[in-house]
């Protein structure tokens, strides 16, 4: 075990690094400047916390938010790590005390606000020159750049660090940086040929849903009632609705509060504190809420109104599920919101800026309206690939059926023909449905196709048009406005009886009430025990004056309520139990287990913990795929002793197809993965999957050494699915 891994296990109770964490740790320990770009919840803190413990001297962490600093330091101290913070919120006596500890080398990590670093011509930084510093970590590093979305002038003072400490490595960390911001950060901080680590922005544990915006409050209420133990944030546009809704929720006995920029700072701080300490379950907020929060067990984020850009949406939904457990992002969408928001998007006297804002708004609307995988849309937006089968968005979870739409296609094409190919889809649909719109002239109404499509909805016709255009049975073109026109292939449908089939939505996956996945997320967990564990956690946290998730994350409790550990040895195998917490909490938790488990007939199921993070894997992997007849043929041939290439030849299919067939049987558990690949490669591939998500094989492949191939990656994904079914 490397020293870094030992530290990870001993202090934090985790058994493996996430993919880029390891590299970040290694680079900085070698003294190299390092730039870490990881999404929220990706695990940036450990990138500098582990080296801080491994290296001599004190690590200085620059962090912009006072509340966050305190939270992080609380978490470190809870793990037995000597850490402190310095900022303007402390009395001078306390500051003196911390400085003494710093000078005598008692602190491994010191969190400092940027203004403190720069105050009085870097007076504090000069003091630091007198003591051994292991590294500087600049958290939320985008604040240093004008190009970032949250520029802070105090951060500019940090550009002196490199001159003052040429020998100390700097790690810059952020969750949001496009290429320009990225370059700017490197330049501003004068990073010296930094290692740049960019993680995927996929958040596989977040499920994305879009609902039509109808009876929004009732649906939200129902969602909250259906998930009585979960904490969440509801974003809305106006301060007024934040207040009204939180009031209405409280009237129904739900611990809810509101938060917006119009409130007093003290009041805001109190609400935020109540929320992170699990005393308040729901916050109804305007976008002002969330920046300073690291609460890891936010289970859902609901948008009652449309966010103004994909960036905002991604950032706000990203506040869910930082602990890696399944979480939900639910957006209520109405096209009317787009019109409303357009007014906000227009920046007076700045045409360029206005155009940009409007474009961003349109992209947000496109996301909400898109008829394809939501995750794919998000990934593509951020410049990543995704195959569009995430199995964890409302589109991928919906069921579809293939229907014969030949007759409707004929009606549509003949309407286009009758209208002489001179109109766009809006009018064609009105015409088909027999609309009384004034755009339909009396002459048109005399045509035999007028009104023959009244039995189908506007949405149906719109998607059929889209489908026919894609299939090239119809074209949409025109100099200024897209007109529907026939194509050479149209005739085959109109006259030659060519069949047209289309996938139509059979049952849309909804987050409210009928959410099949979220119900079985904690399937294996013993609910009563989980509640007891949470109560114990809350008591311990209150005694220490820290948020409950500082004591243990939800993930730790879920694992305990699933596997019922009965001894210290067994606790050690549960994620989150480091040495310090073992000494501090093992007794209290074991006592609870010893009382609760026998009384409820529960026995240790630790033998089922095959590997750490089983629960998390379960949460993010998809349903088992069923295997088809053709796949069975390949399987049969494989059993007979043929390898992939031979089967491909025998069946006249591509090797990739055969690989897919075989992976399917690994997923169902019928075929042992070790018969297909070198098992030594499995852990490395699993790490890459955890990091990049299952969405894009290509990204996983790129995160791995050359010698790993796509087939092996597919197999490991299938293998993980198989473990989930058992």
Question: Site residues (CB under 6 A) for ligand ADP?
Answer: 14, 17-18, 21, 38, 40-46, 294, 296, 322-323, 553
Nearer CB in complex with ligand ADP: 25/510: 25
Helix (H) or strand (E) holding 112: strand 109-112
Q: Beta strands 501-507 and 399-404: pairing type?
A: antiparallel
Nearer CB in complex with ligand ADP: 550/648: 550
Q: Residue 396: which of Mg ion, ligand ADP, Zn ion, none does it interact with, CB under 5 to 8 A by kind?
A: Zn ion
Q: How far is the CB of 638 from Zn ion (least distance, A)?
A: 30
**C-alpha 178: how far from chain center:** 18
Q: Residue 281: which of Mg ion, ligand ADP, Zn ion, none does it interact with, CB under 5 to 8 A by kind?
A: none
Q: How far is the CB of 650 from ligand ADP (least distance, A)?
A: 45
Q: How many CB atoms lie within 10 A of CB 314?
A: 22
Query: From CA 119, how far away is CA 121, in angstroms rounded?
Result: 6
Query: From CA 169, how far away is CA 141, in angstroms rounded?
Result: 15
Q: How far is the CB of 251 from Mg ion (least distance, A)?
A: 36
Q: Which residues pair with 303 in a beta bridge?
A: 235, 331
Nearer CB in complex with Mg ion: 61/677: 61
Q: How far is the CB of 203 from Mg ion (least distance, A)?
A: 14
Nearer CB in complex with Mg ion: 44/207: 44
Q: How far is the CB of 225 from ligand ADP (least distance, A)?
A: 27
- Residue range at the interface with Zn ion (CB under 5 A); choices 82-90, 244-252, 374-382, 427-435: 374-382
- Residue range at the interface with Zn ion (CB under 5 A); choices 216-224, 383-391, 535-543, 698-706: 383-391
Laid out side by side, the sheet with 327-333 consists of: 206-212, 327-333, 298-303, 231-235, 282-285, 256-259
Q: How far is the CB of 41 from ligand ADP (least distance, A)?
A: 5
- Per CB under 5 A, which of residues 314..373 are in contact with Zn ion? 373
Q: How far is the CB of 277 from Mg ion (least distance, A)?
A: 19
Count of residues interacting with Zn ion (CB under 5 A): 5
Nearer CB in complex with Zn ion: 350/398: 398
Residue 139 near residue 61, CB atoms below 8 Å: yes
Q: How far is the CB of 272 from Mg ion (least distance, A)?
A: 16
Return all residues near 5 (Cβ < 8 A) that are at least 6 apart: 16, 17
Nearer CB in complex with ligand ADP: 555/722: 555
Nearer CB in complex with Mg ion: 286/296: 296
CA dihedral 450, 456, 457, 461 (to 10 degrees): -70
Nearer CB in complex with ligand ADP: 522/552: 552
Query: From CA 144, how far away is CA 46, in angstroms rounded?
Result: 22
396 is an interface residue for Zn ion by CB under 5 A:
yes
390 is an interface residue for Zn ion by CB under 5 A:
yes
Q: How far is the CB of 674 from ligand ADP (least distance, A)?
A: 26
Q: Residue 38: which of Zn ion, ligand ADP, Mg ion, none does it interact with, CB under 5 to 8 A by kind?
A: ligand ADP
What values do phi and psi take at 370, rounded to 5? -65, 145
Q: Please name which of 533, 517, 526 lies closest in space to residue 619, comparing C-alpha atoms.
A: 517
DSSP H helices in 433-572: 442-446, 458-470, 490-494, 516-519, 527-544, 548-551, 554-563, 568-572
Q: Please name which of 562, 577, 672, 673 lies closest in space to residue 607, comparing C-alpha atoms.
A: 562
Residues, the chain: 726
User: 66-78 and 265-276 helices cross at what angle (nearest 10)?
Assistant: 30
Q: Residue 373: which of Mg ion, Zn ion, ligand ADP, none does it interact with, CB under 5 to 8 A by kind?
A: Zn ion
Q: Residue 661: which of Mg ion, ligand ADP, Zn ion, none does it interact with, CB under 5 to 8 A by kind?
A: none
Query: From CA 134, how far away is CA 108, in angstroms rounded?
Result: 9
Instruction: Determine the residue with CB nearest Mg ion.
Output: 44
Q: How far is the CB of 100 from ligand ADP (least distance, A)?
A: 29
212 SS3 class: strand
Q: How far is the CB of 549 from ligand ADP (least distance, A)?
A: 7
- Residue range at the interface with Zn ion (CB under 5 A); choices 127-135, 341-349, 353-361, 389-397: 389-397
Contacts from 484-488 at CB under 8 Å and sequence distance 24+?
Answer: 484/416, 484/421, 484/423, 484/424, 484/425, 484/428, 485/416, 485/421, 486/413, 486/416, 486/417, 486/421
375 is an interface residue for Zn ion by CB under 5 A:
yes
Structure tokens at 205: 């544990």
Nearer CB in complex with ligand ADP: 293/416: 293
Nearer CB in complex with ligand ADP: 14/522: 14
Q: How far is the CB of 612 from ligand ADP (least distance, A)?
A: 8
Nearer CB in complex with Mg ion: 44/411: 44
Nearer CB in complex with ligand ADP: 7/128: 7
Nearer CB in complex with ligand ADP: 40/134: 40
Instruction: Determine the residue with CB nearest ligand ADP.
Output: 43
Q: Which residues pair with 400 in a beta bridge?
A: 505
Q: How far is the CB of 435 from ligand ADP (least distance, A)?
A: 51
Q: Residue 298: which of Mg ion, ligand ADP, Zn ion, none does it interact with, CB under 5 to 8 A by kind?
A: none
Query: From CA 173, how far away is CA 48, in angstroms rounded?
Result: 9
DSSP state string for 602-639: ----GGG--STTHHHHHHHS-PPPP--HHHHHHHHHHH
393 is an interface residue for Zn ion by CB under 5 A:
yes
Contacts from 162-165 at CB under 8 Å and sequence distance 24+?
Answer: 162/189, 162/190, 162/191, 162/192, 163/190, 164/122, 164/125, 164/126, 164/129, 165/125, 165/128, 165/129, 165/133, 165/136
- Residues lying near Mg ion in the complex (CB under 5 A) are found at 44
Q: Residue 42: which of Zn ion, Mg ion, ligand ADP, none does it interact with, CB under 5 to 8 A by kind?
A: ligand ADP
Report which DSSP code applies to 523: T
Contact residues toward Zn ion (CB under 5 A) are 373, 375, 390, 393, 396
């Amino acid at each position: 075990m490397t020293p870094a891994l030992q530290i990870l296990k001993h202090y934090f109770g985790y058994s493996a690094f996430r993919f880029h964490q390891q590299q970040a740790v290694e680079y900085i320990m070698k003294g190299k400047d390092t730039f870490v770009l990881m999404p929220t919840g990706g695990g940036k803190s450990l990138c500098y916390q582990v080296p801080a413990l491994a290296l001599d001297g004190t690590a200085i962490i620059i962090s912009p938010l006072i509340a966050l600093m305190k939270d992080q330091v609380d978490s470190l101290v809870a793990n037995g790590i000597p850490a402190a913070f310095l900022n303007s919120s402390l009395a001078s006596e306390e500051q003196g005390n911390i400085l003494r500890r710093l000078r005598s080398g008692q602190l491994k990590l010191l969190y400092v606000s940027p203004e403190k670093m720069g105050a009085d011509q870097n007076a504090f930084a000069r003091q630091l020159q007198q003591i051994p510093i292991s590294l500087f970590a600049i958290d939320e590093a985008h604040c240093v750049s004008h190009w970032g979305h949250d520029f802070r002038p105090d951060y500019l003072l940090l550009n002196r660090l490199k001159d003052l400490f040429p020998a100390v490595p700097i790690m810059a960390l952020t969750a949001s940086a496009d290429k320009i911001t990225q370059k700017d950060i490197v330049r501003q901080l004068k990073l010296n040929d930094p290692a740049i680590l960019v993680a995927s922005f996929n958040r596989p544990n977040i499920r994305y849903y879009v609902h039509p915006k109808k009876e929004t409050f009732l649906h939200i209420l129902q969602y909250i009632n259906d998930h009585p133990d979960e904490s969440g944030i509801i974003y809305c546009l106006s301060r007024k609705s934040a207040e009204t809704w939180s009031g209405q929720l409280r009237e129904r006995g739900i611990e809810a509060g509101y938060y917006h920029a119009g409130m007093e700072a003290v009041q805001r701080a109190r609400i935020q504190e109540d929320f992170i300490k699990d005393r308040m379950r729901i916050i109804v907020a305007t976008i002002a809420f969330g920046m300073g929060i690291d609460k890891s067990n936010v289970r859902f984020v609901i948008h009652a109104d449309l966010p103004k850009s994909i960036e905002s949406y991604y950032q706000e939904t990203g506040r869910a599920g930082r602990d890696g457990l399944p979480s939900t992002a639910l957006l209520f969408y109405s096209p009317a919101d787009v019109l409303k928001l357009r007014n906000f998007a227009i920046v007076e006297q700045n045409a360029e800026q206005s155009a940009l804002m409007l474009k961003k708004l349109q992209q947000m609307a496109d996301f909400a309206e898109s008829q394809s995988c939501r995750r794919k849309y998000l990934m593509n937006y951020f410049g990543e690939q995704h195959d569009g089968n995430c199995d964890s968005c409302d589109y991928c979870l919906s069921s579809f059926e293939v229907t014969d739409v030949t007759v409707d296609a004929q009606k549509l094409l003949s309407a286009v023909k009758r209208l002489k190919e001179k109109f766009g889809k809006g009018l064609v649909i009105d015409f088909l449905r027999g609309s009384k719109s004034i755009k339909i002239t009396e002459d048109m109404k005399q045509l035999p196709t007028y009104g023959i499509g009244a039995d189908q909805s506007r949405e149906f016709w719109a998607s059929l048009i889209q489908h026919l255009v894609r299939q090239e049975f119809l074209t949409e073109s025109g100099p200024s406005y897209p007109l529907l026109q026939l194509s050479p292939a149209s005739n085959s449908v109109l006259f030659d009886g060519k069949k047209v089939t289309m996938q139509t939505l059979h049952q849309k996956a909804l987050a409210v009430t009928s959410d099949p996945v979220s119900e079985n997320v904690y399937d294996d967990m013993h609910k009563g025990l989980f509640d007891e564990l949470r109560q114990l956690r809350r008591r311990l946290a209150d005694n220490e004056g820290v948020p409950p998730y500082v004591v243990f994350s939800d993930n730790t409790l879920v694992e305990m309520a699933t596997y019922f550990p009965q001894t210290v040895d067994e606790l050690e195998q549960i994620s989150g139990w480091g040495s310090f917490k073992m000494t501090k909490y093992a007794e209290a938790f074991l006592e609870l287990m010893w009382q609760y488990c026998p009384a409820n007939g529960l026995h240790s199921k630790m033998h089922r913990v095959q590997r750490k993070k089983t629960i998390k894997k379960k949460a993010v992997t998809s349903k088992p795929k069923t295997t088809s007849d053709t796949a069975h043929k390949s399987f049969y041939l494989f059993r007979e002793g043929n390898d992939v290439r031979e089967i491909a030849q025998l069946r006249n299919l591509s090797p990739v197809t055969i690989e897919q067939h075989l992976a399917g049987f690994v997923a169902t558990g019928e075929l042992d993965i070790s018969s297909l690949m070198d098992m030594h490669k499995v852990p490395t591939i699993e790490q890459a999957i955890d990091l990049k998500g299952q969405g894009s094989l290509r990204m996983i492949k790129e995160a791995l050494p050359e010698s790993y191939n796509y087939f092996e990656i597919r197999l490991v994904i299938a293998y993980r699915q198989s473990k989930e079914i058992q």
